[in-house]
Chain A
Amino acid sequence: MKILVFAEQRDNKFKKPAFEAVRAARTIADQLGGEVIGLVVGGAVQSIAPALGGYGAAKVAVAEDARLAMYSPTAYASIIAAAATAEQAGVVIFPATAMGKDLAPRVAVKLDAGLASDCIALNVEGGEMVASRPVYAGKALTSVKVASAVKVFTLRPNVFSAGEAGSAVAPVEKMTLALSDRDFACVVKEVKQSSGKLDVAEADIIVTGGRGMKGPEHFALIEQLADAVGGAVGASRAVVDAGWRPHEEQVGQTGKTVSPSLYIAVGVSGAIQHLAGMSSSKYIVAINKDKDAPIFQVATYGIVGDAFEVVPAFTAEVKKLLGKN
Chain B
Amino acid sequence: MKLAVCMNHVPDTATKINVAADGMTIDKTGVTYVISPYDEFAIEECLRIKEKSGGDVTVVSLGGDAHKESLRKALAMGVDKAVLLKDDSVRDSFAVARGLADYLKELAPDIVFFGKQSVDYDNGAIGVMVAEMLGLPSVSVVVKLEVAGGKAVAEREIEGGREVLETTLPAVFTAQKGLNEPRYPSLKGIMAAKSKPIEEKPVAAVPAKAAASGMQKPPAKPAGKIVGTDASAVPELVRLLHEEAKVI
Write the residues of chain A forming the contact surface with B, with a CB cutoff of 8 angstroms: 15, 71, 73-74, 77, 97-99, 101-102, 104-106, 108-110, 113-118, 130, 133-148, 151, 185-194, 197-199, 201-202, 205, 229, 246-248, 250, 252-255, 257, 261-262, 271-273, 276, 279-280, 282-286, 291, 296-306, 309-310, 312-314, 317-318, 321-322
Contacts and interface: CB of A to CB of B under 8 A. Distances in A.
B125 A108 contact: yes
7 contacts: A106-B129, A130-B213, A134-B122, A189-B164, A303-B233, A305-B233, A317-B238
Nearest to A296: B224
B211 A137 contact: no
A301 B164 contact: no
Contact of A314 (B15, B127, B133, B238): B238
Contacts of B124: 101, 105, 117-118
Nearest to B234: A313
B247 A74 contact: no
B159 A98 contact: yes
Contacts of A133: 122
Given A106-B132, A201-B159, A187 B166 contact: yes
Contacts of A193: 160-161
B191 interface: no
Interface in B207-226: 207-218, 221, 224-226
Contact of B221 (A102, A134, A202, A297): A297
A105 B231 contact: no
Nearest to A134: B122
B158 interface: yes
Interface stretch (B55-63, B75-83, B89-97, B193-201): B89-97
Contact of A303 (B153, B160, B177, B229): B229
Nearest to A190: B164
A98 B162 CA distance: 10
Interface string B110-124: 000000000111111
Interface SS of A by simple majority: mixed
A205 B247 CA distance: 8
Interface stretch (B1-9, B43-51, B135-143): B135-143
A189 to B, nearest CB: 5
Interface in B1-48: 11, 13-17, 19, 26, 37-38
Given A255-B177, A262-B248, A136 B210 contact: no
B136 to A, nearest CB: 8
Given A105-B128, A198-B160, A296 B226 contact: yes
A190 B165 CA distance: 7
Kindly list the 3 A-B residue pairs having the minimum CB-CB distance in the complex, ordered from nearest. Answer: A114-B209, A114-B210, A186-B137
Nearest to A157: B159
Contacts, number: 284
B225 A302 contact: yes
B242 A147 contact: no
Contact of B162 (A191, A291, A321): A191
A147 B209 contact: yes
Nearest to A135: B121
A114 B221 contact: no
Given A140-B19, A148-B209, A321 B228 contact: no
Given A130-B213, A135-B121, 18 more contacts: A77-B132, A114-B92, A118-B124, A136-B122, A137-B13, A145-B211, A187-B165, A188-B165, A189-B166, A191-B162, A247-B178, A250-B177, A254-B37, A254-B38, A285-B237, A302-B226, A304-B228, A322-B248
Contact of B138 (A186, A276, A280, A283): A186
Contacts of A302: 224-227
A280 B220 CA distance: 10
A144 B208 CA distance: 11
A116 B247 CA distance: 31
Contacts of B120: 135-136
B125 A104 contact: yes
Question: Which of B15, B120, B217, B237 is most buried by chain A, counting CB atoms within 10 A of its CB?
Answer: B237
Contacts of B122: 117-118, 133-137, 257
B106 interface: no
Contacts of B205: none
Contact of B215 (A113, A141, A285): A141
B173 to A, nearest CB: 10
Contacts of B211: 144-145, 147
Given A140-B19, A148-B209, A247-B178, A189 B247 contact: no
B160 A73 contact: no
Contact of B11 (A136, A151, A297, A299): A136
Question: Which of B131, B138, B210, B221 is most buried by chain A, counting CB atoms within 10 A of its CB?
Answer: B210
Contacts of A147: 207-211
A188 B163 CA distance: 6
B168 interface: yes
Contacts of B160: 193-194, 197-199, 202
Question: Which of A108, A138, A148, A312 is most buried by chain B, counting CB atoms within 10 A of its CB?
Answer: A108
A152 B133 CA distance: 17
Given A147-B211, A305-B229, A140 B138 contact: no
A77 B127 CA distance: 15
A118 B122 CA distance: 8
